[in-house]
Structure 1
Amino acid sequence: MTSPAGRSTPNLLQYVGYCYGRRLPSSMRQWVADDLAGPGATRRMMVRMFIPAVLILTPFWIVPMSLYLHLSTTLPILIPFVFFSHALNKVWRRHMLRKHGLDTSLVDYRNRQRDAHIHDAYAEKYGPRSGPPSSSAV
């Protein structure tokens, strides 16, 4: 059995802290990289931001009132949570990668893999791109 400092995956308390911004030990770097840049990373981050919003809005549903009033009190708060969690998803994942000492370009790794054939076809037809590298560069 490994010691707590040498674990490769977080326990429940570490996981909850990590979900909301805490740094995990260096022994869990590979797990962090897979979590923030692997398949389903966007979905996981959106769910992590959705859970606190639902917990905050749950008391509104305890108060007895019509469905229309329940929806009109909770949806105007919940919808921006969803929009902002999607809009700031890459920003947050890059921040967490940097916080754990990992390369921030891992966020775009899957997209670069998926679109590599497009970039290769462009380079064959027009030559290599010139100019400063960007986050969308392959």
Structure 2
Amino acid sequence: MTKFTKTEEEWKAMLDPEQYNVCRLKATERPFTGKYNSTKTDGVYHCVCCDAALFDSTTKFDSGCGWPSFYAPIEDSAMVEIRDTSHGMIRTEVTCATCDAHLGHVFPDGPPPTGLRYCINSVCLNLVPRAAE
């Protein structure tokens, strides 16, 4: 896989301030404020930084955590998992495998079939609706 790279100046010019802070500086949007937290639109969620496909809406579920939650990525190779010991916790950060954008975290408390909950910041995503048939 070819990495999608830009300079910090290019990222700042391309992303709005909140997207930059979350995707490039590993900040977090406030819970229950993201545009995709409650959406039920059928489609594919892409990385806002590089347009890589990350999650299919069929794996989205309402976890009540305040961020969009998915039980599986579109492909295992779409993300990279990194041990995160910030804020006095041990968590698993997930980043886009194509551009290294911080997306959120994955937790072992999701529904079947995976038992995982990918807790993802809305500002990191762009939902591409599936065409109606």
> What TM-score does the superposition give when structure 2 sets the normalisation length?
0.25
Give the structure with the larger strand fraction.
2
| Bigger fraction of residues in helix | 1
Which structure has the greater CA radius of gyration?
1
